[in-house]
Structures are given as structure tokens and as C-alpha cells.
């Protein structure tokens, strides 16, 4: 099936070498085959193609504005934004591939470019924030995780990672609220129970720490956390 799809998209490129969607689909197919050279080649080609389209529509829109053809200009700018949205998705898919290859700086760059193209994708804002946090860029990470929640407040993973950042900043009250918000959305998010237990241990509320850890172990009976195990005796 994948071979058939690959053949189909390669034939499409024979007809139009700048067919951006074909390049994207080939990048994803080659990713499944672990063909890194072709993955990178087709991601890059898709991005170049979409960026060319964006410029074409933006330039047309600017020209029409100069001629006071406002409705026609608007139509061109809408088309440009549609291409930007597609390009943002390509950058995001590329970032996941790069992250899997442990190319952290390149993945960060792809996520940043995705946000430049379309800042309204909650998942991209979240993943950028998480990666920034792992790079110890705490303030910037917090900004993008909060952006993610501005777009989609019901994202439990963003709440969880914001909670982790608040713990690092020793803002335990906000940390607790984000962990609890995450659990309201996903009551089986075991890591949140563990972090709440750890937080309560930090502020010397051992009974509450024990309660949260017990809830975590109900979800994951094999769970072991050295510091929290001690309070279970």
C-alpha cells in the first residue's frame, strides 16, 4: 500500500515538481521507511514550495491594494494565509521527525518557524514550550505553554507542563492549580498525581502527599517513587 502511494506521489512530482502536498506525503512515507535522506529532502522541498506560494499571493495582494482593489486584495491575502497554515503543518511534522533524530536545536527552529506561519495552533505552541522547558528556557517556555492554553484551555498536557514550570519557579500555588486543572480534563493522568504528591511533600503536607500518591498507585500499581515510597510506611 505504501509503495503504491509513494509511486502515486512521485508521479505527481513528475507532472509538477513543486507540488507541495506530494512532497509532504513523501516525507512522511520515507519517515516510516527510516530513509532519512529522502525525508529531509521532501520536507525541505515542501517548505520551499509553500513559501513560494505565500510570496506569490502576498505580492499579488500588495499590488491590488496599491490599485485600491480591496476585495481582490483580501482574497489574495486569504490564499496566502491558507498556504502559511499548510506550511506551518509541514514545519511541525518536520520538528517531530527532527526530535526523533535527537536534533533538538533544529527541532526548535522548525517549531519556531511553524509558529511564525500560524501562531494559532495549540499543539505547536505546547510542543515548543515543552522543548524550551527541557532546554531550561523557563520564561519562554511558560509564555508558549500559556499561549497554548489561550487557544485551547482544555489541553491537559499544557496544564501539566505549566505546573512543572511553576514548581521550578517555586510558585507552588499556581503549580497545584495547573495539576488539578489537568486532572479535571484527564483524571487518569498519573504523573499529575505524582507531582502533586511531590509538591505536597515539599511544603511539608505529608498526609495530602500520601493521598495523592495513593491515587497514583491506584492507576499504576507498579509505580515506584523513592521519596514518596518513604511516606507510605
Residue 3 or 50, more confident: 50
Pick from 154, 90, 156: nearest CA to 118:
90
Q: What is the mean pLDDT of the chain?
A: 93
User: Mean per-residue pLDDT for 131-144?
Assistant: 96
pLDDT, tens digit, 9 for 90 and up, residues 176-225? 999 999 999 999 999 999 999 999 999 999 999 999 999 999 999 999 88
Axis-axis angle for helices 20-32, 70-100 (nearest 10): 10
What is the CATH code of the structural domain delimited by 1-118?
1.25.40.10
Under DSSP, is residue 223 helix (H, G, I), strand (E, B) or coil?
A: coil
Q: What is the CA radius of gyration of the chain?
A: 23
User: Mean per-residue pLDDT for 151-159?
Assistant: 97
Half-sphere exposure of 116 (CA within 13 A, CB side): 9
Provide the pLDDT confidence category of residue 227 given band limits of 50, 70 and 90. confident
The position carrying cell 511533600 is 201
| Structure confidence at residue 128 (pLDDT) | 98
Provide the pLDDT confidence category of residue 1 given band limits of 50, 70 and 90. low
Under DSSP, is residue 29 helix (H, G, I), strand (E, B) or coil?
A: helix
Amino acid at each position: 500500500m505504501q509503495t503504491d502511494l509513494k509511486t502515486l506521489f512521485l508521479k505527481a512530482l513528475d507532472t509538477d515538481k513543486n507540488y507541495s502536498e506530494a512532497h509532504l506525503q513523501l516525507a512522511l512515507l520515507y519517515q516510516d521507511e527510516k530513509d532519512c535522506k529522502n525525508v529531509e529532502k521532501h520536507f525541505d522541498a515542501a517548505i520551499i514550495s509553500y513559501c513560494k506560494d505565500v510570496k506569490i499571493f502576498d505580492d499579488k495582494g500588495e499590488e491590488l491594494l496599491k490599485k485600491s482593489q480591496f476585495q481582490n486584495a483580501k482574497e489574495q491575502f486569504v490564499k496566502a494565509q491558507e498556504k502559511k497554515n499548510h506550511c506551518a503543518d509541514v514545519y511541525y511534522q518536520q520538528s517531530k521527525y527532527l526530535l526523533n533524530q535527537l536534533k533538538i536545536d533544529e527541532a526548535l527552529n522548525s517549531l519556531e518557524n511553524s509558529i511564525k506561519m500560524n501562531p494559532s495552533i495549540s499543539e505547536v505552541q505546547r510542543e515548543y514550550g515543552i522543548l524550551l522547558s527541557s532546554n531550561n528556557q523557563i520564561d519562554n517556555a511558560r509564555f508558549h505553554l500559556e499561549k497554548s492554553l489561550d487557544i485551547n484551555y482544555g489541553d491537559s498536557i499544557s496544564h501539566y507542563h505549566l505546573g512543572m514550570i511553576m514548581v521550578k519557579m517555586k510558585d507552588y500555588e499556581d503549580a497545584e492549580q495547573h495539576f488539578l486543572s489537568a486532572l479535571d480534563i484527564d483524571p487518569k493522568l498519573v504523573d499529575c498525581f505524582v507531582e502533586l504528591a511531590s509538591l505536597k511533600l515539599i511544603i511539608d503536607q505529608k498526609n495530602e502527599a500520601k493521598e495523592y500518591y495513593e491515587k497514583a498507585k491506584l492507576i499504576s500499581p507498579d509505580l515506584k517513587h523513592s521519596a514518596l515510597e518513604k511516606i507510605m510506611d
